[in-house]
Amino acid sequence: MPKSLDEINERIRDGSVYVVTADEMPYIVGELGAEDAAKEVDVVTTGTFGAMCSSGAWMSFGHADPPIKMSKVWLNDVEAYAGVAAVDAFIGATQLSETRGLDYGGAHVIEDLVARREVYVKAVGFATDCYPRRSIETALTVEDLNEAIMLNPRNGYQRYNAATNSTDKALYTYMGTLLPRFGNATYSGAGVLSPLCNDPDCETIGVGTKIFLCGAEGHIVGNGTQHDPANRFGTLMVRGDLKAMSTDFLRAAILHKYGTSLYVGIGVPIPVLNEGIARKTAIRDADILTNVLDYGVARRERPQLQTVSYDELKSGMIDLSGKEVRTSSMSSFFKAKEIAVELADRIRTGSFAVALPTTRLPLDAVQKPMKQRSKAPLVREVMLPSITVHDSISVQEAAKIIIGKQVNHLPVVSDARKLIGIVTAYDISKAVALNKGDSLKGIMTRRVVTAAPDEPIDLAARRLERYNISALPVVDQAHAVIGIITSEDLSKLLACR
């Protein structure tokens, strides 16, 4: 027989409520069955703790004397958005410091505020009759703010694609450092403890649901941005009082060579109103599947290499086409469990009542790609014909070709025109100066960074920058040279965009 929310809250008040964490529920349902588990268990608590880049805080500073209409605001040299009224601003977790770069950002400002540390504030504006002041500098703590409201546009992903790297160089991403040649795979999310995995149809999770947010009471204010429940990538938009939060459940992070993020702790109670909810909260890590994507392909649609379960990811090793690849989590299951336990304790002691949403989250939302009015040029549209040579020719012969054809790069190919190396004008000059007249075999670079004809030129430009090289041979699927693209050509083209 279904239970009502009033019955559950009455049990919370009289101390008889039965609360379990989400990772315990599969065993209870396995032993009792979903029907009897629904009679026994009143609330299932979930938890997640991970890097949630789409996070930030609204702050209201109060009026200075004489007053200022802030048009730009910096906190510890991190700019906050001030395009609302006069003394309100929003600081985003990934906004970087203008003086410290990747080592400090909005996430650190938020942590400093929650930790009651003093923050340096600088603001400028234009003078008006009612706001005559043009600038102000001061220092404050979170208690000096009239309001400090965390409002995170996208948190609590239902699940997240795992990431790996097929290239021969490390990649620095929001999924952490991805080692070359499938050296590792990273993933995010709490799996069995994930709030939306335990309520995928959003029966109890929606607008108005009371939650645990970084140690404080918070609320879900709607679906998060990029909410895609049709593909099991649901998200949450959450809000809470920054002044009531704790750094035990909120920490700034630096993602190496990528930027800053904010680790956010969220716990959502799920009232077990009926057998169906009990059955859904019995989900296991083995039931939660996600895709492993190749981040070595820097496109919107990355190659999907394999589908794996969170049980496999958490084991520390997955198999990718016969290769054992180590896995590591961007989230903390330990902290997620701590949050679920803390929330359960608050419910048991009567300090946290549960609430149903006033409005359910949409279940049919699907994410669309950005509408682009102009298509990015492809490499094949801007590449130039390439003069190629064989590795058997001498350095002197290569020098004559470079001078005669006025080129700086000579891709070296086999008899089948497949790329096997490259030499540059610098390589040739150095060999001539050292009186090396042998064939190109001894001076050519064998591990050549290349471009594909159908990739956008932005990817080629990034590759040139990243590897600090000046040209990319363009090769087809058979690795035959079909052209070349140089940094000089790309610079001219990108300057015109």
Residues assigned a catalytic role: 130
Tracing tokens 């699927």 back to the chain, one arrives at 477
Task: Find out whether the peptide bond into 66 is cis, omega within 30 degrees of 0.
Answer: yes
| CA 14 from centre of chain | 43
Residue 349 has a CB neighbour count (10 Å cut-off) of 11
Residue 381 backbone phi and psi in degrees, to 5: -80, -15
Burial of 434 (0-12, 13-18, 19+ CB in 10 A): exposed
Strand order in the sheet with 185-187: 304-309, 289-294, 162-164, 185-187, 323-329, 317-320
Contact 339, 48 (CB under 8 A): yes
In angstroms, rounded to a whole number, what is the distance separating the alpha carbons of residues 174 and 154? 15
Contact 411, 484 (CB under 8 A): yes
Contact 341, 271 (CB under 8 A): no
Tracing tokens 């605001």 back to the chain, one arrives at 73
In angstroms, rounded to a whole number, what is the distance separating the alpha carbons of residues 442 and 72? 58
**Run of H or E residues at 423:** strand 419-424
In terms of DSSP bridges, do strands 323-329 and 359-360 run parallel, antiparallel, or are they unpaired? unpaired
Residue type present at position 350: G
Tracing tokens 């919370």 back to the chain, one arrives at 12
270 vs 195, 210, 356, 397, CA distance in Å? 8, 10, 9, 76
